[in-house]
């Protein structure tokens, strides 16, 4: 194995960018910070691709199985023997794949932002935050230790918070960033407790050791973990479910998805980076990382993953059909697609042909990163051009934004699962895996993929066709090369990524997975996708009143979907009414009145008693004499009768 | 290294301050003294690490002993272990930052700085003394200046707060004194010497009585529920440096005392009462967090969050495992640095906006980027962001607490884990309202931090980041000491 | 009726003592309070003499104490009256309720 | 019932009744006179007990000295015919109660106690016996206390003069 310590540079370069720009950017790199950040990331990307090449084609494979390499590893915080937080780098197919995806998408966003964010007052800060995010995300994917992953997990959360709140003087952005952070934080608490449970039973925090201890059937740790139970569910399952809650929070799975649409308040390239391609798939990645434990030792937990994924996919797709803010449509679409990845994992088994879902999920993660980033960047271009997020302000833009139009179309075709674009291949695999393992999920998925095609093309037609938007006098073009190049590169990815023989590289057990292509199986999903597309075309290609009519006829359902099934309201109710009014306010009241009241009452009592005692010291000689006599009598009685 | 220096340097500084003629001389003398303290603390740290690396088997290093009241077996016995060194480092950091932040104190500058330095003297003495009487003596030295600092330089209902604080702390130290005397008379030797006492088995019935006395007594300092009410009022009325010292140093005296005196000397008592400690500290954690959520005043917010965070210290101690106790010490250090910084930032904001009500602020990031960046850092530290000290400490406590498999410990740990969500809620609320959003009218022309404020903040941030990114040095420093305490506990079965 | 003995005298002295005490408590005039004190002192004298007579007739210590008490009572009365007169000069009253500066 | 007994009871009645009147009478002059009777009654009791010297001293010092002093001070401080201020009823009742409790307790103790009489030969309390023993310097002598008392009297006398002296005018 060659010396791989250079891999540490991949996350560290963006970190360096963050520190440099964060501390000195404001004063010294006011305009050049974008170039600096991009350059650093370019180096990181090159390194990542180099690593991927080396891993997949040179040293990664031993006897036909991709190894888990740990080229770098040192103890960061040792709790007790064997249990320590280590900082390390793990190389296995998924982490290498993620390295490439993250650096590549991040690079695209960096380049895109050079133009898109130009002239912003806090330009250096923006790039600093991008650097921080990229660092955290890369650290997350290469984590060799579950606690290390938690650390980067949190860092990812905070950098997402900072980026969503980039426009800090907009109240909506502030609310959105707080919401995102708190919701994910809540999920992270679950993750943390999950880590505690897993580490307690396995006696380690290291991924490799942990997986090994909790999957080998004769290990004591596994037996203990399965034997201990709470509410009839084994401790191991609890641990994994809690870990999954963490993942669900980051990946915006139902019912922890509410932050994702609001997070669109951030700059659009940020949405492309964080809320489409990288951070939101962290949950999927986490489940994939622990996949052997899920699949071998706690299939109940894996089932839960599958159902949560399917429900999220469906709900998000339904909501996406009704939203009018294009970024929100994309956000729900993201959620839906991540739901696909999740349930793909959920229906997967471990090893061999059974592991199809795993491969499919990772494959979809990969292709989705391409076309979703492309969609967001495309939407960014549109928003940049039209200065609005609302569909009603758009229409007929294909003339003004030809390249955006084409790339957007490619992305839509990809996500709709039209062959031969990338999404087709990954989605087919997912559906196949679902078909083989769980028919309920399969039908949900089939329906959802039709909806996907429908809402994506609704979006597409509303933006680029339909009525003609009023474009006022100032007509600026699509933007420069920096704005278009990422679009084109991503479009190439979205179009061609499907042809990668993904099963050769990524599979649940590291061996090669032959993904057979079943033509007869593919007909149905493709047909459904096409139906979706044509429905959308029929409804939205020309301006007409059919959509409104349909919406009116489905008024209840439409309204519910439009209002996102009132989940936000539910959360508001829980937080405002229950957390604040029923717990916070009473706690504060209790403290102010009872605890503090008691303390003050003690003080008051002391004062009152002293006041009374002071009254005895009246200066009246007769009173003193009476006290004296009483005292004497009392003492006499005591001495004579009590203490004989 | 001679530990007496740690007492002499503040003493000389304080004396020199009294001899100075004008405010500017006073400030510079105080700053020089504080710098000397910092240097001294680092020298001690490195000397200690060297001894540790050399494999010195003694529990307490650099011991020194002088007769004080021979007839009562009181001797001036000094010595440090890893925990003390960590606390001394913390104190040095907070002192220098406090001195820098108070640069603009105009009224009675000399007396102000004198008291600050005196307080630091008490703290150092407390952390290095190995004789319980001397320890108590320094504890009292550390209490009195606070009363004056709040009563004279405070704001708001300062007299009330100063009284409340002084009385509650005095009440706490009275309990401590009773406990110490109980320990003193329970042993045939009649000794106050910590090391001698640790070799003797204190009778279980004495432990049963003296442990709660000592623990609650010290617990008052570290805001044990329900004796925490001095914290919000005291902090909010104190001047900036006063709050910093109060939260950064004084509250740590209590935690240190709980660990060093109560648990270390009376492991049996500790075992007996650990359930109660755990319950109380869990309540404090959650309750403090929820109470914080409802506060509108930044200082009150931080004070209540201190109650919550100090709950982690007590939780760590109450769990009685090596990791959790190490975590408790880390949390003390981390919380000390963090709260000091938080109060410093609040002071800076208050000096400019003249309000501490969060709803009267908004968009301050625009006008004071440096201060608000620090606010972000400290807020994120408070909510346990990895890379900053709070995370390391809390996680260590959690990991330690989780080692008990029974439901009580589990529930306490889970509750504590969930509190970090509440922490996120209130921190983000505070930051969101002060720093973000549209800027409020009248704040457009506020200035950013001055050199001294920047320096103070940077010093503390360095401390926070140093722990957060490289916790191993603190862990290596503290965990041998907590190992020794654990061994004492394990002896009792 | 019984032949009077020690107990009878002790009864008288006790009663006189508490009469004096009662007077001391209830009188507001300083002179009358002084008078009550004289009663108290006399009851003590009576005690001393009675004990001497009935229990230790071979000694005279009771007598001596009585003499001392009478002497001291004289000194006390003189001093007290001096004080009362002085008080009367300053307060124009010898009501004890008015002489309560020495409080708290 | 012998004459001695009758005299005893008469004396007892005189002492207690006039004592009680002296603390309750609302006319201060009368109170002083009742006091006088009470003191005379005590002197009578001393006579009855056959301690003639003490009785004489009692009459000379109390009746002749102290009561006269008290009457003088009444003249100096009191308007003639003015009634004494009345104490609050509560205080009166309370004091009476306290005094009665004390009285009852003491009597209880007195009657429960068995006094042991000595069988030794009695000493006559004659003036010469008293004088010899009191001023004796041997074991049972009271010379030193006697001297102390004399100094006390001197001190009291000086004290009285100092207290009663009018303070000099400031100007002088």
The three-state (H, E, C) secondary structure of A215-253, written as one string: HCCCCHHHHHHHHCEECCEEHHHHHHHHHHHHHHHHCCC
| Mutation target among D94, D98, D100, D110 for the A interface, most CBs of A within 10 A | D98
Using N-to-C axis directions, what is the helix angle for A621-637 and C6-26, rounded to 10°?
A: 140
Query: Which of A226, A255, A243 shows the shortest CA–CA distance to A285?
Result: A243
> What is the extent of the structural domain holding D129?
124-172
DSSP A606: H
- Give residue C11's pLDDT band: very low, low, confident or very high (50, 70, 90): very high
Residue A471: per-residue pLDDT: 63
Residue of A nearest to C33 (CA): A622
Q: For B77, phi and psi rounded to 5 degrees?
A: -105, 120
What residues contact A29, with CB distance under 8 A and at least 6 apart? A20, A21, A36, A124
Cα D107 versus chain centre, distance: 20
Q: Which one has a higher pLDDT value, D164 or A141?
A: A141
The β-bridge partners of B64 are B78
Element (H, E) at A89: strand A83-91
Report chain D's mean pLDDT, rounded to a whole number: 85
Residues D97 and D79 in one domain: no
Q: Which one has a higher pLDDT value, D121 or D10?
A: D10
Chain D hits for A622, Cβ within 8 Å: 91
What residues contact A190, with CB distance under 8 A and at least 6 apart? A242, A243, A245, A246, A249
Work out the average pLDDT over A224-249: 81
In chain D, the number of structural domains is 3
Cα B338 versus chain centre, distance: 10
Residue C21: per-residue pLDDT: 92
3-state secondary structure D131-158: HHHHCCCCCCCCHHHHHHHHHHHHHHHH
Query: Which of B171, B254, B172, B266 shows the shortest CA–CA distance to B211?
Result: B266
Compute how many other C-beta atoms are within 10 angstroms of the C-beta atom of residue B43: 12
Which of A32-46, A339-353, B282-296 bottoms out in mean pLDDT, i.e. has the lowest?
A339-353
> Chains touching chain A at 3 or more Cβ pairs under 8 angstroms?
B, C, D
CB B378 within 8 A of CB B345: yes
Residue of A nearest to D102 (CA): A633
Residue D168: per-residue pLDDT: 62
CB B299 within 8 A of CB B381: no
A240-243 long-range CB contacts below 8 Å, 24 or more apart?
A240/A194, A240/A198, A240/A290, A240/A293, A240/A294, A240/A298, A240/A301, A241/A194, A241/A301, A241/A304, A242/A190, A242/A191, A242/A193, A242/A194, A242/A197, A243/A190, A243/A191, A243/A194, A243/A195, A243/A198, A243/A286, A243/A290
Residues D93 and D148 in one domain: no
Chain A hits for B420, Cβ within 8 Å: 185, 189, 192
CB pairs under 8 A between A and C: 28
Q: Given CB atoms, is D109 within the 8 Å cutoff of chain A?
A: yes
Cα A89 versus chain centre, distance: 21
Residue C17: per-residue pLDDT: 93
Half-sphere exposure at residue A232, Cβ-oriented, CA atoms within 13 angstroms: 0
β-strand A83-91 against A69-80: which pairing, if any? antiparallel
Output the six-digit token pair for A270: 């940020």
Report chain A's mean pLDDT, rounded to a whole number: 81
In chain B, the number of structural domains is 1
Which of A190-199, C69-78, C94-103 bottoms out in mean pLDDT, i.e. has the lowest?
C94-103
CB A344 within 8 A of CB A354: no
Chain A hits for B363, Cβ within 8 Å: 168-169
Cα D33 versus chain centre, distance: 14
| Mutation target among B312, B408, B424 for the A interface, most CBs of A within 10 A | B424
d(CA A375, CA A404): 9
Q: Given CB atoms, is C12 within the 8 Å cutoff of chain A?
A: no
Output the six-digit token pair for D20: 């009680």
Q: Given CB atoms, is A599 within the 8 Å cutoff of chain D?
A: no
CA-to-CA separations, D56 to A180, A246, B264, C67, D53, in angstroms, rounded: 108, 108, 79, 11, 5
Query: Which of B448, B452, B460 shows the shortest CA–CA distance to B105?
Result: B452
CB pairs under 8 A between C and D: 234
User: Could you say which of B291, B417, B439 has the minimum Cβ distance to residue A587?
Assistant: B291
Half-sphere exposure at residue A593, Cβ-oriented, CA atoms within 13 angstroms: 6
- On the question of a cis peptide bond just before residue A420, with omega within 30 degrees of 0, the verdict is yes
Among A residues 205-234, those touching chain B with beta carbons less than 8 Å apart: 228
Q: Which one has a higher pLDDT value, B274 or A474?
A: B274
Q: Given CB atoms, is A614 within the 8 Å cutoff of chain C?
A: yes
Residue B454: per-residue pLDDT: 87
d(CA B478, CA B322): 10
Q: Which of D100, D119, D138 is the C-terminal boundary of a domain?
A: D119
CB A360 within 8 A of CB A344: yes
d(CA D65, CA D61): 5
Q: Given CB atoms, is A621 within the 8 Å cutoff of chain C?
A: yes
pLDDT surpassing 50 at residue D172: no
Report chain B's mean pLDDT, rounded to a whole number: 86
Which of A423-427, A616-620, B255-259, B434-438 bottoms out in mean pLDDT, i.e. has the lowest?
A616-620
Cα A93 versus chain centre, distance: 21
Residue A37: per-residue pLDDT: 84
Residues D79 and D14 in one domain: yes
3-state secondary structure A496-562: HHHHCCHHHHCCCCCCCCCCCCCHHHHHHHHHHHHHHHHHHHHHHCCCCCHHHHHHHHCHHHHHHHH
Residues D11 and D44 in one domain: yes
Residue A164: per-residue pLDDT: 85
Q: Given CB atoms, is A476 within the 8 Å cutoff of chain C?
A: no
Q: What is the pLDDT of residues A11-33, one digit of tens each?
A: 888 888 888 888 887 777 777 88
d(CA B254, CA B256): 5
User: Could you say which of A619, A622, A626 has the minimum Cβ distance to residue C103?
Assistant: A619
**b vs e for B276-310, b when ≥16 Cβ sit within 10 Å of the residue's Cβ?**
ebbbbbbbbbbbbbbbbbbbebbbbbbbbbbbbbb
For the ranges A164-178, A496-510, A548-562, D24-38, the one whose mean pLDDT is highest: D24-38
Element (H, E) at B401: helix B389-401
Residue B206: per-residue pLDDT: 85
The DSSP string of C19-88 is: HHHHHHHH--BHHHHHHHHHHHHHHHHHHHHHHHHHT-TT--HHHHHHHHHHHHHHHHHHHHHHHHHHHH
d(CA B309, CA B299): 15
> Chains touching chain C at 3 or more Cβ pairs under 8 angstroms?
A, D
Tokens 């508490």 appear where? C18
Chain C hits for A622, Cβ within 8 Å: 24-26, 33, 96
* Dihedral over Cα of A233, A235, A240, A243: its sign: positive
> What is the extent of the structural domain holding B197?
5-490
Work out the average pLDDT over B36-49: 90
Chain C hits for D143, Cβ within 8 Å: none
Give me the CATH code for the C6-103 domain, please.
1.10.287.3510
**CA angle A334-A338-A343, nearest 5°?**
150
CB B81 within 8 A of CB B59: yes
- Give residue C41's pLDDT band: very low, low, confident or very high (50, 70, 90): very high
Q: Give the minimum alpha-carbon distance from A622 to chain C in angstroms, rounded to a whole number.
A: 5
Residues D74 and D39 in one domain: yes
Residues D24 and D76 in one domain: yes
Element (H, E) at B61: strand B61-69
User: How do the domains of chain C map onto residue ranges?
Assistant: 6-103
Residues D96 and D48 in one domain: no
pLDDT surpassing 70 at residue A477: no
CB B278 within 8 A of CB B319: yes
Residues comprising chain D, all counted: 172
Q: For C78, phi and psi rounded to 5 degrees?
A: -60, -50
User: Could you say which of A152, A584, A596 has the minimum Cβ distance to residue B293?
Assistant: A584
The β-bridge partners of B129 are B78
**CA angle D30-C86-C18, nearest 5°?**
45
Residue C48: per-residue pLDDT: 92
Work out the average pLDDT over B192-211: 84
Compute how many other C-beta atoms are within 10 angstroms of the C-beta atom of residue A474: 5
Work out the average pLDDT over A492-520: 74
For the ranges A406-415, A547-556, B182-191, B370-379, the one whose mean pLDDT is highest: B370-379
CB B61 within 8 A of CB B48: yes
* Residues above pLDDT 90, as percent of chain B: 5
d(CA D147, CA A563): 110
Q: What is the pLDDT of residues D105-126, one digit of tens each?
A: 999 988 888 888 777 788 888 8
pLDDT surpassing 70 at residue B302: yes
Residue A181 CB burial class (10 angstroms; 0-12, 13-18, ≥19) = buried
């Amino acid at each position: 194995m060659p010396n791989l310590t250079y891999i540490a540079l991949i996350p560290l370069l963006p970190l360096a960018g963050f520190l440099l720009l964060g501390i000195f950017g404001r004063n010294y790199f006011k305009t050049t910070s974008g170039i600096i950040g991009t350059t650093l990331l370019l180096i990181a990307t090159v390194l990542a691709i180099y690593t991927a090449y080396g891993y997949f084609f040179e040293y990664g494979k031993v006897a036909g199985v991709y190894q888990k390499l740990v080229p770098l590893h040192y103890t960061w915080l040792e709790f007790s023997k064997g249990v320590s937080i280590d900082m390390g780098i793990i190389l296995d197919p998924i982490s290498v794949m993620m390295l490439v995806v993250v650096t590549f998408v991040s690079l695209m966003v960096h380049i895109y932002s050079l133009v898109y964010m130009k002239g912003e007052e806090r330009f250096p800060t923006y790039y600093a935050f991008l650097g921080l995010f990229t660092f955290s995300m890369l650290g997350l994917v290469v984590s060799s230790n579950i606690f290390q992953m938690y650390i980067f997990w949190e860092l990812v959360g905070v950098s997402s918070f900072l980026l969503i709140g980039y426009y800090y003087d907009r109240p909506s952005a502030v609310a959105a960033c707080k919401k995102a952070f708190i919701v994910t934080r809540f999920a992270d608490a679950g993750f943390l407790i999950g880590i505690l449970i897993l580490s307690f039973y396995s006696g380690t925090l290291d991924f490799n050791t942990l997986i090994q201890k909790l999957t080998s059937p004769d290990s004591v740790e596994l037996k203990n973990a399965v034997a201990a139970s709470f509410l009839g569910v084994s401790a191991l399952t609890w641990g994994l479910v809690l870990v999954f809650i963490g993942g669900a929070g980051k990946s915006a799975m139902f019912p922890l998805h509410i932050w994702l649409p609001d997070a669109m308040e951030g700059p659009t390239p940020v949405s492309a980076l964080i809320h489409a391609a990288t951070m939101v798939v962290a949950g999927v990645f986490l489940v994939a990382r622990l996949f052997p434990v899920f699949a071998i030792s706690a299939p109940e937990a894996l089932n839960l993953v599958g159902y949560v994924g399917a429900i999220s996919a469906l709900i998000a797709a339904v909501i996406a059909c009704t939203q009018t803010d294009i970024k929100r449509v994309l956000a729900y679409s993201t959620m839906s697609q991540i739901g696909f990845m999740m349930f793909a994992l959920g229906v997967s088994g471990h090893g061999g042909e059974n592991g199809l879902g795993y491969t499919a999920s990772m494959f979809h993660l990969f292709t989705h990163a391409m076309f979703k980033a492309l969609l967001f960047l495309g939407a960014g271009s549109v928003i940049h051009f039209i200065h609005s997020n609302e569909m009603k302000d758009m229409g007929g833009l294909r003339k003004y934004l030809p390249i955006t139009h084409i790339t957007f179309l490619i992305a839509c075709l990809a996500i709709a699962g039209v062959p031969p674009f990338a999404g087709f291949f990954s989605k087919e695999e997912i559906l196949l895996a679902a078909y083989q393992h769980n028919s309920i999920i399969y039908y949900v998925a089939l329906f959802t993929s039709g909806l996907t095609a429908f809402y994506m093309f609704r979006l597409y037609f509303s933006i680029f066709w339909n009525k003609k938007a009023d474009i006022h006098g100032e007509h600026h073009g699509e933007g420069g090369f920096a704005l278009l190049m990422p679009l084109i590169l991503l479009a190439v990815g979205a179009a061609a990524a499907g042809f990668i023989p993904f099963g050769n590289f990524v599979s649940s057990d590291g061996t090669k997975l032959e993904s057979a292509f079943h033509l007869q199986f593919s007909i149905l999903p493709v047909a459904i996708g096409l139906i979706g597309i044509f429905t959308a075309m029929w409804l939205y290609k020309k301006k007409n009143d059919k959509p409104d009519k349909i919406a009116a006829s489905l008024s209840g359902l439409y309204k519910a979907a439009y209002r996102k099934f009132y989940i936000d309201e539910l959360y508001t109710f829980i937080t405002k009414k229950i957390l604040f009014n029923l717990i916070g306010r009473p706690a504060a009241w209790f403290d102010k009145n009872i605890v503090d009241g008691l303390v003050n009452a003690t003080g008051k009592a002391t004062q009152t008693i002293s006041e009374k005692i002071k009254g005895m010291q009246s200066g009246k000689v007769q009173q003193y004499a009476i006290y004296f006599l009483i005292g004497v009598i009392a003492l006499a009685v005591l001495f004579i009768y009590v203490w004989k | 290294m001679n530990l007496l220096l740690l007492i002499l340097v503040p003493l000389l500084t304080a004396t020199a301050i009294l001899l100075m003629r004008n405010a500017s001389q006073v400030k510079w003398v105080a700053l020089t003294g504080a710098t000397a303290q910092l240097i001294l603390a680092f020298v001690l740290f490195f000397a200690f690490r060297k001894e540790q690396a050399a494999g010195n088997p003694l529990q307490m290093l650099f011991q020194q002993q002088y007769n004080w009241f021979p007839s009562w077996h009181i001797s001036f016995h000094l010595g440090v272990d890893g925990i003390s060194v960590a606390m001394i480092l913390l104190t040095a950091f907070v002192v220098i930052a406090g001195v820098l932040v108070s640069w603009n104190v105009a009224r009675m500058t000399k007396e102000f700085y004198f008291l600050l330095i005196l307080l630091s003297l008490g703290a150092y003495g407390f952390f290095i003394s190995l004789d319980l009487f001397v320890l108590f003596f320094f504890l009292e030295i550390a209490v009195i200046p606070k009363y004056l600092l709040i009563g004279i330089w405070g704001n708001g209902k300062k007299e009330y707060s100063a009284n409340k604080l002084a009385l509650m702390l005095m009440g706490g130290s009275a309990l401590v004194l009773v406990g110490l005397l109980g320990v003193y008379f329970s042993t045939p030797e009649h000794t106050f010497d910590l090391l001698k006492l640790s070799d003797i088995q204190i009778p279980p019935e004495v432990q049963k009585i003296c442990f709660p006395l000592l623990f609650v007594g010290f617990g008052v300092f570290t805001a044990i529920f329900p004796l925490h009410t001095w914290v919000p009022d005291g902090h909010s009325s104190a001047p900036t440096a006063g709050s910093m010292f109060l939260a950064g140093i004084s509250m740590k005296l209590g935690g240190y005392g709980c660990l060093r005196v109560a648990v270390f000397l009376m492991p049996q008592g500790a075992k007996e009462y650990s359930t109660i400690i755990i319950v109380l500290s869990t309540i404090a954690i959650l309750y403090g967090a929820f109470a914080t959520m409802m506060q509108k005043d930044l200082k009150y917010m931080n004070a209540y969050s201190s109650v919550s965070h100090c709950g982690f210290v007590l939780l760590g101690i109450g769990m009685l495992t090596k990791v959790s106790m190490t975590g408790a010490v880390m949390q003390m250090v981390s919380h000390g640095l963090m709260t000091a910084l938080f109060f410093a930032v609040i002071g800076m904001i208050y000096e400019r906006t003249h309000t501490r009500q969060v709803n009267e602020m908004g968009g301050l990031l625009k006008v004071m980027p440096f201060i608000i960046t620090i606010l972000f850092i400290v807020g994120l530290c408070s909510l346990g962001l990895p890379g900053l000290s709070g995370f390391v400490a809390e996680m260590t406590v959690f990991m330690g607490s989780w080692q008990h498999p029974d439901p009580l410990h589990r529930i306490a740990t889970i509750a504590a884990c969930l509190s970090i969500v509440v922490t996120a809620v209130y921190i983000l609320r505070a930051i969101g309202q002060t720093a973000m959003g549209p800027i409020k009218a009248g704040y457009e022309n506020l200035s950013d931090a001055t050199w001294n404020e920047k320096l103070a903040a940077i010093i503390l941030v360095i401390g926070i980041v140093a722990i957060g990114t490289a916790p191993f040095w603190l862990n290596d420093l503290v965990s041998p000491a907590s190992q020794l305490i654990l061994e004492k506990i394990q002896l009792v079965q | 009726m019984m032949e009077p003995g020690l107990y009878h005298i002790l009864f008288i002295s006790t009663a006189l003592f508490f009469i004096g005490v009662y007077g001391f408590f209830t009188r507001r005039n300083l002179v009358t309070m002084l008078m009550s004190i004289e009663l108290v002192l006399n009851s003590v004298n009576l005690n001393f003499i009675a004990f001497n007579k009935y229990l230790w007739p071979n000694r005279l210590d009771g007598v001596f104490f009585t003499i001392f008490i009478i002497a001291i009572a004289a000194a006390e009365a003189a001093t007290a009256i001096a004080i009362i007169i002085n008080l009367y000069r300053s307060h124009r009253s010898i009501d004890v309720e008015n002489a309560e500066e020495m409080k708290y | 019932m012998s004459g001695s007994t009758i005299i005893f009871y008469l004396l007892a009645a005189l002492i207690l009744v006039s004592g009680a009147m002296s603390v309750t009478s609302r006319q201060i002059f009368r109170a002083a006179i009742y006091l006088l009777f009470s003191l005379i009654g005590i002197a009578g009791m001393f006579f009855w007990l056959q301690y003639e010297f003490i009785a004489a001293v009692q009459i000379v010092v109390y009746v002749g000295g102290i009561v006269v002093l008290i009457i003088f001070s009444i003249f100096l401080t009191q308007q003639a015919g003015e009634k004494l201020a009345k104490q609050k009823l509560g205080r009166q009742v309370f004091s009476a109660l306290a005094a009665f409790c004390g009285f009852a307790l003491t009597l209880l103790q007195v009657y429960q106690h068995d006094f042991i009489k000595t069988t030794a030969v009695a000493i006559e309390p004659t003036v010469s016996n008293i004088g010899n023993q009191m001023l004796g310097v041997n074991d049972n002598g009271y010379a030193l206390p006697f001297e102390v008392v004399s100094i006390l009297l001197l001190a009291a006398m000086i004290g009285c003069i100092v207290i009663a002296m009018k303070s000099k005018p400031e100007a002088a």
